[in-house]
Amino acid sequence: MRLSLASKYAILTLIRLAARGGGPATVRELAADGPVPEPYLAKLVPPLVRAGILASARGRGGGIALARPAEEISLAEIIRVTEGEASFRECPFEVDPCPGNPDCPLAQVWDPVRDEVVDFFERTTIGSLAARMRGQS
């Protein structure tokens, strides 16, 4: 499993937002605070709002903020928004998307590893990573 640039940028931005207290912050402020270019970040916000990860408000004092506590937002949830559910089932050894074949010798090796990776993404939250960023593991 390989994360797209969109997933990486979304995760990094949400960690920084959580470390800053969860918002509100403008896209410009967040882009200035991290490695995500402002135009790219602006395109990531709407799907994260639709998914209930971010909330947005216009006007003075507006911006984007975490829609719920950072401890409730898993990496898996973010990846599902940016990559889609299928990303958790894809085989990294196939050139074309593979729906899964129990007779495949690679499946016997990869499936348990994939399950561990997915479990890691489910267990790891933006809140826990933001705490590490602030030095409060």
Confidence band (pLDDT; 50, 70, 90) for 99? low
Q: Map 56-116 to HEC letters.
A: EECCCCCEEEECCCHHHCEHHHHHHHHHCHHHHCCCCCCCCCCCCCCCCHHHHHHHHHHHH
Report the predicted TM-score, pTM, of the whole model to 2 decimal places.
0.88
Query: Dihedrals φ, ψ of 94, to 5°?
Result: -95, 145
Where residue 45 sits, what CATH number does that domain have? 1.10.10.10
Query: Dihedrals φ, ψ of 100, to 5°?
Result: 105, 130
Q: How many domains does the chain have?
A: 1
Per-residue pLDDT tens digits for 27-71: 999 999 878 999 999 999 999 999 999 999 888 877 999 999 999
Structural domain of 91:
5-133
Residue 12 has pLDDT above 80, yes or no: yes
Distance CA(13)–CA(111), nearest Å, equals 30
Instruction: State the pLDDT at residue 11.
Output: 96
Residue type, 20: R
